[in-house]
Amino acid sequence: MKKISVSLSGHQTSITLEPEFIDILTTAAKSQNTSVASIISSIDNTRAPDTNLSSAVRVWILNWVISHK
């Protein structure tokens, strides 16, 4: 497991993900010409209030992989 630290809405937070998820998240950011932090911020802004951020990121990654087969 690896931690990613980002600033969301002006406060620092970190999420813990498996290295494989981080690799895919990095690939997705590069393909969209954006940063990992930007993607995580977008996920944070659209997730349900009762959804854990790390879980929301994993689901986003899964959907991204499915859509880019």
Residue with tokens 């998820």: 21
List Cβ neighbours of 54 (8 Å cut-off, separation of 6 or more): 15, 16, 17
pLDDT in tens, 7-61: 998 899 999 999 999 999 999 999 999 999 999 999 999 999 999 999 999 999 9
Is residue 63 very low, low, confident or very high in pLDDT (cuts 50, 70, 90)?
very high
Q: pTM for the complete prediction?
A: 0.93
The CA angle 29-5-10, to the nearest 5 degrees, is: 95
